[in-house]
């Protein structure tokens, strides 16, 4: 039992390392995952910065502190989508089939890809935390907040990546996975990633109150703009677990479907 777990852990680590190296080797493909949210963060912070003067806006030092969490989850969701595209390309090119034919767990193959997405998520979190510090965001809870944000973001990346991986496994097509990209923005706009839900127009504002992404965003945002609150953090963790469980269940069904279809 322990031997099998150790073998699977080695497979996950090896495939995760391969995926991270693959991403870092082609920075021109990875750059938009960070540059686009950074550009949007800069523009929205300066374009809608006076929003903090609105009566019901939560108390913040500046709009950047509020927006930082939104930029992080945007970048993370794009990274999850990008990881799923890379996974679909591996499937299209037959690389994944060779792994599935090897005497290793199929779940370890999927988790290897997701581990890489989690690592990239952590890198993204570090980048945005540094960016925030440079441009005037304040972290009310100090280093502990930064570490917690990195952990939460890495776990969110894995959770959102699992949904993309399931679509890749089900469709075997990079272009189909790429086609879900606009959905990333639909989900973002229907959460309070960019604005407090109570100030958003309905029905988006109403949906944002129940969107799991809102709970995750608030978990990241709270230590930046206010202080710790166990309730908010538990909600964020529950949302990450929920999204991850949903994605991994879809992956399981997709893997079973592949075996049934003889793929």
| Positions in the binding site for other proteins (CB under 8 A) | 28, 32, 35-36, 39-40, 42-51, 53-54, 63, 179, 182, 185-186, 188-190, 194-195, 199-201, 204-205
Q: What is the CA radius of gyration of the chain?
A: 19
Min separation Cβ 143 and other proteins, Å: 28
The 3-state secondary structure of the chain reads CHHHHHHHHHHHHHHHHHHHHHHHHCHHHHHHHHHHHHHHHHHHHHHCHHHHHCCCCCCCCCHHHHHHHHHHHHHHHHHHHHHHHHHHHHHHCCHHHHHHHCCCCHHHHHHHHHHHHHHHHHHHHHHHHHHHHHCCCCCCCHHHHHHHHHHHHHHHHHHHHHHHHHHHHHHCCHHHHHHCHHHHHHHHHCCCCCCCHHHCCCCHHHHHHHCHHHHHHHHHHHHHHCCCCHHHHHHHHHHHHHHHHHHHHHHHHHHHHHHHHCC
Rank residues 206 and 228 by Cβ distance to other proteins and give the closer one. 206
Min separation Cβ 65 and other proteins, Å: 14
Min separation Cβ 128 and other proteins, Å: 18
Rank residues 208 and 236 by Cβ distance to other proteins and give the closer one. 208
Min separation Cβ 46 and other proteins, Å: 3
Rank residues 183 and 256 by Cβ distance to other proteins and give the closer one. 183
Min separation Cβ 4 and other proteins, Å: 43
Q: For 124-147, give one letter per residue: b (16+ CB within 10 A) or e.
A: bbebbbebbeeeebebebeeebbe
- Give the list of residues 6+ apart from residue 35 with CB closer than 8 angstroms, or none: none
Tokens of 43: 């523009």
Min separation Cβ 73 and other proteins, Å: 14
Min separation Cβ 130 and other proteins, Å: 19
Min separation Cβ 261 and other proteins, Å: 25
């Amino acid at each position: 039992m322990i031997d099998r777990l150790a073998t699977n852990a080695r497979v996950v680590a090896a495939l995760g390392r391969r995926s991270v190296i693959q991403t870092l080797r082609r920075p021109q493909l990875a750059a938009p995952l960070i540059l686009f949210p950074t550009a949007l963060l800069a523009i929205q912070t300066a374009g809608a910065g006076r929003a903090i003067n609105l009566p019901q806006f939560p108390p913040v030092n500046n709009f950047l502190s509020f927006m930082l969490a939104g930029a992080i989850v945007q970048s993370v969701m794009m990274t999850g989508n990008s990881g799923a595209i890379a996974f679909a390309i591996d499937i299209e090119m037959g690389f994944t089939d060779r792994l599935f034919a090897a005497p290793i767990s199929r779940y370890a193959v999927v988790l290897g890809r997701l581990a890489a997405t989690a690592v990239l998520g952590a890198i993204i979190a570090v980048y945005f935390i540094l960016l925030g510090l440079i441009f005037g965001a304040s972290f009310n809870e100090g280093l502990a907040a930064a570490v917690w944000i990195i952990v939460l973001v890495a776990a969110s990346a894995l959770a959102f990546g699992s949904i993309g991986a399931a679509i890749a496994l089900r469709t075997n097509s990079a272009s189909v996975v790429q086609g879900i990209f606009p959905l990333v923005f639909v989900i973002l706009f229907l959460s309070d990633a960019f604005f407090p839900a109570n100030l958003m127009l309905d029905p988006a504002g109403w949906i944002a109150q129940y969107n799991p992404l809102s709970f995750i965003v608030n978990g990241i945002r709270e230590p930046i703009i206010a202080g710790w609150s166990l309730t908010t953090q538990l909600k964020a963790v529950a949302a990450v677990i929920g999204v991850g469980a949903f994605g991994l269940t879809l992956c399981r069904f997709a893997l079973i479907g592949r075996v049934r279809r003889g793929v």
